[in-house]
C-alpha cells in the first residue's frame, strides 16, 4: 500500500474575524494560501468553516477554533462541523462501553462547560454484533437536553 501523502488546507476570501488560523483580524486573504494550526500537536485532518469562525481537527483528536470564536479543546474528538448557530462534534464516549457522543455546542462556548445537546451513539464499526445486526439486549441511545 502506498504511503499516505499529507494534504494541504487552503484559505481565501474575507478574513475579518481571523478565520484563517494565525491570520489575525481584519486581514483579507486575496489568493489561496496554506492554513497552519501550530497549536495542534499533529497534522490537521479536517477543517470545517462557517462565516465567522473555523474549526480544525487534528489526527490526534484535538479541536482548535479560530475567528470570532477561539480556543482549543482537549483530545478525544473524532469529527467536527461548524455553523453560525451550532458547533457539532463527535467525541469519544464518556461512559463505560463502546460508543461515542454526538454533541451540539453554542460556538461562543469554545467547547467549555456543558453542551446544549448530547446523544450517545454506537458506530457500526464498534458494535459487538457487527454492522447491520441487532441484539435483544440493545437499549435505545441516551439523549440529554439542556436548556440555557
Total of domains in the chain: 1
- Whole-number Å distance between alpha carbons of 9 and 21: 11
Whether 103 maps to a domain, the answer reads: yes
Compute the C-alpha angle 61/79/38, nearest 5°: 45
Whether 122 maps to a domain, the answer reads: yes
Whether 22 maps to a domain, the answer reads: no
Per-residue pLDDT of the chain (148 residues; tens, 9 = 90+): 445 545 555 555 555 555 555 555 555 556 666 666 666 655 888 889 888 888 889 888 999 888 777 778 778 999 999 999 999 999 987 766 667 999 999 998 988 999 999 999 887 766 665 555 554 444 444 444 443 4
Q: Grid coordinates in use for 39?
A: 497549536
Domain encompassing residue 100: 38-145
Whether 8 maps to a domain, the answer reads: no
Whether 48 maps to a domain, the answer reads: yes
Q: Grid coordinates in use for 91?
A: 467525541
Whether 7 maps to a domain, the answer reads: no
Amino acid at each position: 500500500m502506498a504511503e499516505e501523502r499529507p494534504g494541504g488546507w487552503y484559505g481565501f476570501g474575507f478574513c475579518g474575524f481571523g478565520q484563517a488560523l494565525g491570520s489575525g483580524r481584519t486581514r483579507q486573504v486575496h489568493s489561496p494560501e496554506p492554513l497552519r494550526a501550530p497549536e495542534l500537536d499533529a497534522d490537521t485532518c479536517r477543517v470545517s468553516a462557517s462565516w465567522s469562525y473555523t474549526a480544525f481537527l487534528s489526527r490526534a483528536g484535538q479541536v482548535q477554533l479560530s475567528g470570532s470564536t477561539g480556543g482549543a479543546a482537549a483530545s478525544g474528538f473524532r469529527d467536527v462541523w461548524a455553523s453560525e448557530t451550532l458547533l457539532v462534534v463527535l467525541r469519544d464516549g464518556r461512559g463505560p462501553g463502546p460508543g461515542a457522543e454526538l454533541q451540539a455546542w453554542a460556538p461562543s462556548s469554545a467547547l467549555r462547560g456543558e453542551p446544549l445537546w448530547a446523544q450517545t451513539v454506537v458506530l457500526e464499526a464498534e458494535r459487538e454484533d457487527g454492522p447491520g445486526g441487532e441484539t435483544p439486549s440493545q437499549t435505545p441511545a441516551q439523549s440529554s437536553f439542556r436548556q440555557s
